[in-house]
Amino acid sequence: MGGWFPENISSFGAAIDDVFFLIYYIVGFWFVLTTAVILYLGVRYRRRAGHPAAYVRGDRWRELSWILIPAAIILVLDLAIDAAGARVWESVKIHLPPGDVHLIVTGKQFEWLVTYPGADGTLETADDFVANNELHVPVGRDIRVTLRSQDVVHSFFLPNVRLKQDALPGRSIDVWFNVNKPGEYELACAELCGFGHYTMRAKLIAHSPDEYAQWVRDHEPHRTAEAPSA
Amino acid sequence: MTTVSIEAARVGERIPSGKLAMWWFLASEIMTFGGLLAAFVLRRFAAGGWEDQAAHVSTRIAAFNTLLLVSSSLTLVQAHAAVKADQRNRVAPYLLCTIVLGLAFLAVKGYEYSGEIAHGFTPSAGPFWSFYYGLTGLHALHVLAGVIVNAALYVLVIRGRLWPRVQQRVEYAGLYWHFVDIVWIFLFPLVYLS
Amino acid sequence: MSQVAVVTHHAHEETSFWRKYVFSVDHKVIGRQYLTLGLCMALLGGATVYVIRWQLAWPETPIPLTSWVPEPAMYDGQLDPSFYNQLVTMHGTIMVFFVAMPILLGGLGNFLLPLMIGADDMALPRLNMMSFWTFFTASAVLLSSFFVSGGPAAAGWTGYPPLSANPEYTGVHGGMNLWILALALEFASFLMGGVNFLTTAINMRAPGLSFFRLPLMVWMQLTAGVLFLLSVGPIIGGAVMLLLDRTIGSGFFLPERGGDPLLWQHLFWFFGHPEVYVVLLPGVGAVLEILPVFARKPIFGYRTIVYSTIIAGVLSFVVWAHHMFVAGIDPRLAMPFSITTILISVPFAIMTFAMIATLWGGSIEFRTPMLFTFGFLITFLIGGVTGIFNGSAAVDIFIHGTYFVVAHFHYTLFPTVFFAGFAGIYYWYPKMFGRMMNEALGKLHFWLTFVAFNLVFLPMFVLGIGGHMRRIYNPLQYDFLKPLAPVNQFITMAAVALLLSQIPFILNFIGSLWFGEKAADNPWRANTLEWSTSSPPPHGNFATVPTVYRGPYEYSRPGAAQDFLPQTQPLPTGAAAAGA
Task: Find, among C384, C398, C420, the residue nearest to C288 by Cα.
Answer: C420
* Architecture of the structural domain at A101-218: Sandwich (2.60)
Q: Do chains C and A touch (3 or more CB pairs under 8 A)?
A: yes
Confidence (pLDDT) at A2: 74
Confidence (pLDDT) at C15: 73
CB spacing of A41 vs C362 below 8 angstroms: yes
B7 lies in some domain: no
Q: Does the pLDDT at position C52 exceed 80?
A: yes
- Number of domains chain B is built from: 1
Confidence (pLDDT) at B164: 80
Q: Which residues contact B31 (CB under 8 A, 6 or more apart)?
A: C229, C230, C231, C232, C233, C234
Show which of residues 110-149 on chain C sit within 8 Å of chain B, judged by CB atoms.
120, 123-124, 127
Confidence (pLDDT) at C47: 96
Q: Does the pLDDT at position C248 exceed 60?
A: yes
CB spacing of A16 vs C397 below 8 angstroms: yes
CB spacing of C230 vs B1 below 8 angstroms: no
From A15-24, A117-126, A143-152, C321-330, the region with the lowest mean pLDDT: A117-126
The model carries a pTM of: 0.94
Could you tell me the residue range of the domain that residue B148 belongs to? Answer: 16-193
B96 lies in some domain: yes
CB spacing of A163 vs C556 below 8 angstroms: no
Burial of C170 (0-12, 13-18, 19+ CB in 10 A): buried
CB spacing of C346 vs A71 below 8 angstroms: yes
Confidence (pLDDT) at C14: 62
Confidence (pLDDT) at B10: 54
Q: What is the mean pLDDT of residues A59-65?
A: 95
From A99-108, A155-164, B79-88, the region with the lowest mean pLDDT: B79-88
The values of phi and psi at residue A63, to 5°, are: -80, -40
The values of phi and psi at residue A155, to 5°, are: -135, 125
Q: How far is B140 from chain C (nearest CA, A)?
A: 14
Share of chain C above pLDDT 70, in %: 96
Yes or no: say if A99 and A192 are a contact pair by the CB < 8 Å rule.
no
* Superfamily holding C25-532: Cytochrome c oxidase-like, subunit I domain (1.20.210.10)
Q: What is the mean pLDDT of residues C363-370?
A: 97
- For residue C86, how many C-alpha atoms fall within 13 Å in the half-sphere facing its CB? 25
Using CB atoms, list chains with 3+ pairs below 8 Å to chain C: A, B
Q: Select from A23, A52, A94 the Cβ nearest to the Cβ of C332.
A: A94
Q: Select from A1, A54, A82 the Cβ nearest to the Cβ of C361.
A: A54
CB spacing of C204 vs B130 below 8 angstroms: no
d(CA A28, CA B25): 44
Phi/psi class of residue B15: alpha, beta or left (left: φ > 0; alpha: ψ in -120 to 50)? Answer: beta
Confidence (pLDDT) at A123: 85
The CATH number assigned to the domain holding B124 equals 1.20.120.80
B185 lies in some domain: yes
Residue of C nearest to B15 (CA): C203
Q: How far is C119 from chain B (nearest CA, A)?
A: 9
pLDDT grade for C13, boundaries at 50, 70 and 90: low
Flag whether residue B55 sits within 8 Å of chain C, measured between CB atoms: no
pLDDT grade for C99, boundaries at 50, 70 and 90: very high
pLDDT grade for B11, boundaries at 50, 70 and 90: low
Gyration radius (Cα) of chain A, Å: 25
pLDDT grade for C4, boundaries at 50, 70 and 90: very low
Sequence ranges of the domains in chain A: 2-94, 101-218
Residue of B nearest to C127 (CA): B21
CB spacing of A45 vs C475 below 8 angstroms: no
CA C220 to chain centroid: 12
The pLDDT tens digits for C133-174 are 999 999 999 999 999 999 999 999 999 999 999 999 999 999
At C321, which amino acid appears? Answer: A
Confidence (pLDDT) at C450: 98
Four-way CATH pick for A2-94: 1.10.540, 2.40.160, 3.40.50, 1.10.287: 1.10.287
Q: How far is B131 from chain C (nearest CA, A)?
A: 7
Residue of C nearest to A5 (CA): C466
At B174, which amino acid appears? Answer: G
CB contacts of B9 in chain C (<8 Å) are 4, 6, 206-207, 545
CB spacing of C241 vs B134 below 8 angstroms: yes
Q: Select from B33, B39, B123 the Cβ nearest to the Cβ of C248.
A: B123
B9 lies in some domain: no
CB spacing of A66 vs C478 below 8 angstroms: no
Flag whether residue B141 sits within 8 Å of chain C, measured between CB atoms: no
Task: Find, among C225, C233, C311, the residue nearest to C268 by Cα.
Answer: C233
CB spacing of B21 vs C199 below 8 angstroms: yes
CB contacts of C233 in chain B (<8 Å) are 28-35
CB spacing of C326 vs A59 below 8 angstroms: no
